[in-house]
Structure 1
Amino acid sequence: MLLRWLKILLVFSMGLMCLFYALQNLVNLDSAYAVVSTVTRMENHSYYPSTFGFALTSEPLIWLATAFIVCFELLAGIVFVFAAWHLLKKRKAPQKEFQSAKYLTHVGTAIALLIWFGLFQTLGGAFFQMWQTELGDASFDGSFAYLASIALVTLFVNLVEPTN
């Protein structure tokens, strides 16, 4: 039973983390936009000054990208909180039922990984080369910490608890 409680708390913590990042972005929306803008405009790239792709300079599209990030951080956080609630309700259920109750945790994980792996690592890092600037590199490194912690916690949560 202790492992189930710990897993519930870990899933809830992932929800809080996603919500906290989303809310910090909301209360600092102009700054969030500035970071996304700097990355997508590919400003100050000295290591790889040329690109096979393109820089994104359209303000409406940059605002859309910023909104997408914040909305999906909120969505991941909400899904994780609901996942924790669902696990809490199933904490005394038989092993197979508790294992099945982890579905929402997997959904939350997929959403979070789409943000911090798909958007930040793949688009931001590989396409827009965000690692070339101090500001972009900090976001790039941070996104890896978020996706790695969420992936590792989810792997632990997904383990079947031993029967006593």
Structure 2
Amino acid sequence: MNTNYIVRLTKTMLLAFFGFYALFVAFGNVTDYNSNFMFVQHVLSMDTTFEGNSLMYRAITSPALHHTGYILIIITEWFIAFACLFGAGKMLKQLKGSAEAFHEAKKWGMIGLLFGIAVWFLGFQVIGGEWFAMWQSEVWNGLTSAFRLTTYISTTIVILMLKES
């Protein structure tokens, strides 16, 4: 095995690992719906933020909107899982292909990772953390997890963007 093959295999596996992560998250959210639904419900309701904060006008207290938001997150997680795993499969098939063919095979994985950034950075850190003031909650605060995931996704994006010679 030459170094280029190992580099390509590493890129492929980084993508597959995240695809499996998203798959397990989506599966868990479906099979244990209420556990993470409570998280979404509390964040959107802002019921554990600082007492008397001036941002409470942003709170969403409609159970229908809580379920809608959570279901959209779950659907997106399924999409992320399938896009990343499909992309990893395409990359796996091109491990010994040309540099151009391998680079082209990254497309679905990059799309999946972009949607991962949309969920865990835009959704959790920006919207949940800042708009719904999740950072104020000691109980329902997912910023550390979102940061960890965003860091992994971003690192994987950068690594995948590098073209082979």
Give the TM-score normalised by the residue count of structure 1.
0.92
Decide which of 89, 92, 106 is 1:102's aligned counterpart: 106
Shift of 1:123: 0.9
Q: Does 1:141 align with 2:144?
A: yes
Distance in structure 2 (CA, Å) of the matches to 1:144 and 1:61: 25
Shift of 1:106: 1.2
**Residues 123-154 of structure 1 deviation map (CA, whole Å, 9 limit, x = unaligned):** 101100011112332x1210111111011012
Decide which of 57, 60, 64 is 1:56's aligned counterpart: 60
Distance in structure 2 (CA, Å) of the matches to 1:34 and 1:84: 33
The residue identity in structure 2 corresponding to 1:66 is Y
RMSD: 1.5
Counterparts of residues 30-49 of structure 1 (less than 5 Å): 30-46=34-50, 49=53
Give the TM-score normalised by the residue count of structure 2.
0.91
Shift of 1:44: 2.5
Residue pair 2:48, 2:140 contacting (<8 A) in 1 also: no
**Residues 57-114 of structure 1 deviation map (CA, whole Å, 9 limit, x = unaligned):** 0001000111111111111011000000010111111112211211112101111111
Residue pair 2:43, 2:140 contacting (<8 A) in 1 also: yes
The residue identity in structure 1 corresponding to 2:7 is L
**Secondary structure class of the residue paired with 2:26:** helix
Change in 2 beyond 3 A, CA 1:48/1:83: farther
Residue pair 1:53, 1:127 contacting (<8 A) in 2 also: no
Distance in structure 1 (CA, Å) of the matches to 2:12 and 2:52: 44
Match of 1:21 in 2: 25
Distance in structure 1 (CA, Å) of the matches to 2:151 and 2:77: 15
Distance in structure 2 (CA, Å) of the matches to 1:53 and 1:90: 52
Could you list the runs of 5+ residues in structure 2 that have no partner in the other structure? none
The alignment of Structure 1 onto Structure 2 pairs a total of residues equal to 161
Which consecutive aligned stretches of 4+ in structure 1 deviate over 3 angstroms post-superposition? none
